[in-house]
Structure 1
Amino acid sequence: MKILSWLPLLLFYSVALQAQSNITIKGNIINDLEGYDEIYFKYKGEPLDTVKVVNGNFVIIMPFRKDDMPWIYDEYTLKKLGERPFGLMAEHPGTIVLNDIDVRSFSFRISGMQSAIDYEEFNTLSQSTHTDIVKELQKKYPVTPEYTRGGDVSSEYRAYNNDYIELFNKYTVIVLEKFIKNHPDSFAAVRVLKWNMEGMDAETIKKYYALLSKKRQNSDEGKEIVTFINALKSSAVNNQIKDFVLLGPDGKNVSTKSLRGKYVLIDFWASWCGPCVAEFPNIKELYGKYKNENFEILSVSIDKSSKAWLNALEKHQLPWLQVRDEKNSEAYNFAVSAVPVKILIDPKGKIIMRDGDIEKKLSELFGVR
């Protein structure tokens, strides 16, 4: 009898502990969904899960993950307008509420967890700059270049995409500075700084880091930013690389040190990264041109899922060296906060280029092919 008397209490604590480790996302949709009544949700790189919209309302319960962000989108938008996922930033387990979702105008009001509220404000600020970016692009490209030609990404589109990224980075730092100044103690502020460091120099990152509160500077994310700043300095052009060893798809070690004597292009990528995948045809072309020279490519995936990585390798048939950095430790040693990133090293292991026109550099080293 004593054992039975404890069961309700144990069940209560079990439910309470489970709630403490989950994110609950509640929402209500104001539109007629015309039968498209599913909400999709997932963490990046993982399979989709779904819930039904019932009488305009839905509830998603998913495990909290400290270093990840849940992404959701609705079936109506997918069928009518195409996939438009959006992320919700959760600092801790708890509840996020999406009020009065209009799937046609893609608008809603957010309440509940403060980190999610702050992050949506950052997104709104970022989206307001999109018109400015489009206007500047249209001055140079009255018509958007064709994406592919002969099955490969066209050189015109690559140039267009590079210009877009440059403008995006230009406007992002403006929004970033404004947002951090207004929310120095927000989890969203330190997280968006961490996520947008790629392309910034060390002094610019230090400037924005200094705007954060002491609490956020001393948080795990703040410490990672300091580590990134140091990595950015140590992985700059003309520095010697920090050698690493990672596992290839066959389970065997691959080390950068074993590649001494060759020019090596280290390509950081992920299976879920569209721009990474779009560059594969160009990388294959480079590999075909120079593989018989003193040249090798080492692709470093930051996929957390081994299955997603291996499936991508099978699908895209990449004939050069492949490894996976599942903990992103080596990516951070090279100050990689977003992919793709390409680093070219010389036969002695010295960094001679980071991103930029790799094809032009290789033609200078080996001659035009």
Structure 2
Amino acid sequence: MKNIIWVLVIIVMASCTSQEKEFSALKGNVNEGVSSIIIQGKGYSKTISVNEDGTFSDTLKAPEGMYGLIAGNSRSSLFLKNGYDLSLEFVEADNSVLFSGTGAETNNYLKEKAAFFMSDYGDPKSYFKLEKSDYDLRLVAAKAEFNKSTIDVSKVDSTVAAMVAQSDKQLFAYVESNYEQNHASLVKLAKGKPSPVFTDYENFAGGTTSLNDLKGKYVYIDVWATWCGPCKREIPSLKLLEKEYHGKNITFVSISVDNVDGRRGSHDSWLKMVEEQQLGGVQLFADKDFSSDFIQAYDINSIPRFLLIDPKGNIVDSNTLRPSDPNIKSFFTELGI
């Protein structure tokens, strides 16, 4: 759920308008090694060439709305509107962008609020894990932090200000309405608690496997299905991870929750994909898809979901990093894997 609200609002935010100037302008200087800047949005894309000295300048006939700005390793949100004349300063330390010129207040405000939503304050889990007294204090602190701004909000485009306010409202509404249920779940599945177990799941390699069979090593579990696009996008990263950690103190387990009655995915589709994709690790098929006791015990209602269990069968993280997360190797290193 982390940052989902912010991302969804950006995706849907795009509209057209007419101004006296029927274009917006960008100029600036980028970090060494960047040869082009890409502006992408709903139905629009433009690549701006960077000069040998690192400078760039161009005009864009782009509909008013939100865009992604890509310059080397820098990824930023950009709001464009006819008449905007923006100068961009790329900050190498954190791959961010500072804006000046016409439209700067709106874009710096977006940058400021994006940093809030991308921080722990934007992660509902950071609230749910707290006991009630600490949760109440954090909620007050988060709302106060959100309302802080170095930008004169009266100069921010009203559409953007309304978009940000709606994101704020949705985040805190979600946190407040879901605290009790999610807190109870996180307490039940807290680090160090004995993990729920699965018993005699069908193993693609033959026979059956139970979680207790895997004690003695860390167990990294991928709960997935053949019909799940985000699940399949993690497969290449998972394969690389399995290869790099082969022979180390960790076992990689994939549990399919394809429907046992064939309504969405099936046992046959699982067999076919494991074979055709040459999926590694321990490939298991859950006994009752999402209704399986193990899946229910972990409160899994969306996939992919990754779990990490220690060699003694205790929970390390009930919603751990994905294989594609750049921090996962350092996380494993901290655990001594």
Same fold (TM over 0.5): no
Question: Which category of TM-score, normalised to the shorter sequence, fits these structures?
Answer: 0.3 to 0.5
Give TM-score scaled by structure 2 length: 0.45
> Where is the helix percentage greater, Structure 1 or Structure 2?
1
TM-score (normalised: structure 1): 0.41
